[in-house]
Structure 1
Amino acid sequence: MAATNDPFQFQEFEEAGNLLEVNRDATTISIEDDGPEPQKQRNAAGYSPDADNDDPLGTDDTAELLSGQKKNAPFWTFEYYQKFFDIETHHVKERIFGSMMPWPGKNFIHVYLRRNPDLYGPFWICITFVFAIAISGNISNFLVHSGKPNYRYTPEFRKVTIAATAIFSYAWLLPLALWGLLLWRSNKVMSLVSYSFMEIVCAYGYSLSIYVPAVVLWILPYEWLRWCSIVVALCLSGSVLVMTFWPAVRDDHPKIIIAIMSGIVLLNVLLALGCKTYFFSTPEDSHPDGK
């Protein structure tokens, strides 16, 4: 019995085989061919498979990083100061502890800042110092007069303004003057170490951190405790500043060295004594009748 032809049998493959037997130099094209040749053809046509995923901003940033160049924003823009607030919490803690526990021979700027000053720590230290001394002064005044029949407690909010003016002037304007002075001297004496303005501000801001726990102790109406805390705070804060700025002036003229270092120490002493005298001085009862 003859075999019946199956209508569903693909005869094209047999015909293609016969054609190849006749002409072996012929070329065949496969629709599944995805080799390098079609890829070259697509590239030549201008097609890129990742064209839709290209990020021009990311490409620009990568190009800047590879070339080693980074655009610097002007100092009057927000972007310029944004980098000084980008700091980890453990770095702030490390710098606070370093300012409270100075060690001989350790330069605060070289050891803790590492050419990466921040404004986050100094800003919040100044804010905390302002409110700590204003609140502590009001509480101390209340404790001194508590129990007196004619005394009526009135919060003195003006102390916040006075404290903010004194502390921020010390922590920001004084570094500006010191930076200008050191810059002028470094132009005169080329061997002097130079600091940037932000590094000086950072050093001054962190040097005030020891005063925050000190003024909290001033709430207690014991003069001996207040003076002891003042002496300790002055020694620690002054030591940080002296060891930090000594390398910047040690090669200068002796008179200039004495003037700069004495000014740094003297202004630190004036800040501490001024805060103690104004905010925690025992008020005189000039009006015993309460009028």
Structure 2
Amino acid sequence: MSGAGYDVVVDVDDEGDLGHTDLQEDLEFHASNFATDAANARKLPGSSSGLPAPATNGGSSKRFLWTLSFYAQFFDVDTSSVLSRCWAALYPRANFLDVLEGNPDLYGPFWIATTVVFILFLGGTISQYLAHTGAAEPFEYDFRLLSGSAGLIYGYTFVIPIALFLALKYSGSEAANILECLALYGYSNIIWIPVALISWSPFALLNWIFVGVGFGISVAFLLRNLYPVLSATERRTSKLLLIFVVVLHAALAIAIEFLFFANKHKKDEPAKPDEPIKDGDPAMLFIF
């Protein structure tokens, strides 16, 4: 029976006698909550029929490869998080996978790689310009540096982590995560931004030192965070993968130095005037 319309509930003791005129010993009065319960029942859909409230999606809908929401989850990060991760890559005080907090992103790796591509092109162009200063012919921009830097940086940042992930899965590692590998390699590129900004000097030895420092910081960052994952595999496999990581990273550093900051372009020497051919010159034999 519905209790709507009642304001007071009357409880009668089991041994009470309604014939008594003194009801204080037999009756207890309590404030009713029927009105509150009825209001709450109107707020919950389906409560009047006794069925539970319908479940909402709550963002748990399935994401498919051909939907934008599938790729949006890899860029679900704010600016402060990206900056803190960049700082953690430059000055690592804790394990980078702990800094990610289970939310690896591709936003930071993509924009870091893009920034490195353009700064390498800019630094390489300045280096070539300084090498050609005073040449007879005017300086011309080499836009092959831009395509070369894009292929080098994007290829290294996104292909090598996938290859490493596949090698870990093939060796039976259960701790491998492709997004974490991509984020780790992507944020390791942050060191090449300051290196590319200062490695365009005309002094080749100084450029080698800058690139070597960048290599040391970035490879130490990679080994520190990859070693716990690689050590979970067989001992021989972990050693091979560690060598694989170090050798490919060294190849990246050497490629950056030779392609952009080697100053291998020499100044063009002025053309010598043609000398007249004298009689008896051996060249006369080829003419006749």
TM-score above 0.5:
yes
**1:230 is the counterpart of 2:230:** no
Query: Does the residue aligned with 1:64 lie in a helix, a strand or coil?
Result: coil
Deviant stretches of 4+, over 6 Å = 48-51
Superposed, 1:149-228 pairs within 5 Å as 149-186=135-172, 192=173, 194-228=175-209
Residues 155-183 of structure 1: CA deviation (Å, up to 9, x unaligned): 11111111101111100011111111111
| Offset at residue 98 of structure 1 (A) | 0.9
| Offset at residue 273 of structure 1 (A) | 0.7
Matched residues in 2 for 1:142 and 1:286: separation? Answer: 10
Corresponding residue number in structure 1 for 2:89: 99
Matched residues in 2 for 1:269 and 1:145: separation? Answer: 28
Superposed, 1:40-51 pairs within 5 Å as none
- Amino acid in structure 1 at the alignment position of 2:158: W
Equivalent pair of 1:193/1:247 in contact (CA under 8 Å): no
Equivalent pair of 1:134/1:159 in contact (CA under 8 Å): yes
Superposed, 1:17-96 pairs within 5 Å as 63-65=56-58, 70-96=60-86
| Offset at residue 76 of structure 1 (A) | 3.9
| Offset at residue 255 of structure 1 (A) | 1.7
Residue ranges of structure 2 left out of the alignment (5+ in a row): 1-33, 46-52, 273-288
Corresponding residue number in structure 1 for 2:242: 261
Q: What is the aligned-residue RMSD (CA, Å)?
A: 2.7
Matched residues in 1 for 2:131 and 2:266: separation? Answer: 11
| Offset at residue 113 of structure 1 (A) | 0.8
Structure ranking higher on relative contact order (CA contacts 8 Å, 6+ apart): 1
| Offset at residue 86 of structure 1 (A) | 2.1
**1:118 is the counterpart of 2:105:** yes
Matched residues in 1 for 2:89 and 2:43: separation? Answer: 56
Matched residues in 2 for 1:166 and 1:149: separation? Answer: 30
Cα–Cα, structure 1 residues 96 and 200, in superposed 2: closer, same or farther, change >3 Å? same
Matched residues in 1 for 2:255 and 2:217: separation? Answer: 18
Corresponding residue number in structure 2 for 1:130: 117
Matched residues in 1 for 2:129 and 2:60: separation? Answer: 55
Identity %: 27
| Offset at residue 135 of structure 1 (A) | 0.9
Aligned residues: 229
- Amino acid in structure 1 at the alignment position of 2:153: I
Equivalent pair of 2:127/2:263 in contact (CA under 8 Å): no
Matched residues in 1 for 2:152 and 2:106: separation? Answer: 18
Equivalent pair of 2:127/2:200 in contact (CA under 8 Å): yes
- Amino acid in structure 2 at the alignment position of 1:79: S
Matched residues in 1 for 2:135 and 2:186: separation? Answer: 43
Query: Does the residue aligned with 1:208 lie in a helix, a strand or coil?
Result: helix
TM-score between the two structures when normalised by the length of structure 2 = 0.72
Residues 82-110 of structure 1: CA deviation (Å, up to 9, x unaligned): 1222211111111111111234xx3211x
Matched residues in 2 for 1:249 and 1:49: separation? Answer: 55
Equivalent pair of 2:88/2:96 in contact (CA under 8 Å): yes
Query: Does the residue aligned with 1:227 lie in a helix, a strand or coil?
Result: helix
Matched residues in 2 for 1:274 and 1:280: separation? Answer: 10
Q: Which of 157-166 and 78-87 deviates more?
A: 78-87
Equivalent pair of 1:217/1:225 in contact (CA under 8 Å): no
Matched residues in 1 for 2:120 and 2:271: separation? Answer: 26
Matched residues in 2 for 1:270 and 1:194: separation? Answer: 27
Matched residues in 1 for 2:100 and 2:119: separation? Answer: 26
Residues 243-285 of structure 1: CA deviation (Å, up to 9, x unaligned): 1111112132222111100110111110011010011222344
- Amino acid in structure 2 at the alignment position of 1:218: S
Equivalent pair of 1:151/1:290 in contact (CA under 8 Å): no
Corresponding residue number in structure 1 for 2:229: 248
Matched residues in 2 for 1:84 and 1:162: separation? Answer: 27
| Offset at residue 193 of structure 1 (A) | 5.2
Matched residues in 2 for 1:114 and 1:77: separation? Answer: 25
Matched residues in 2 for 1:244 and 1:101: separation? Answer: 13
Which of the pair is proportionally richer in helix? Answer: 1
| Offset at residue 224 of structure 1 (A) | 3.0
Matched residues in 1 for 2:56 and 2:231: separation? Answer: 43
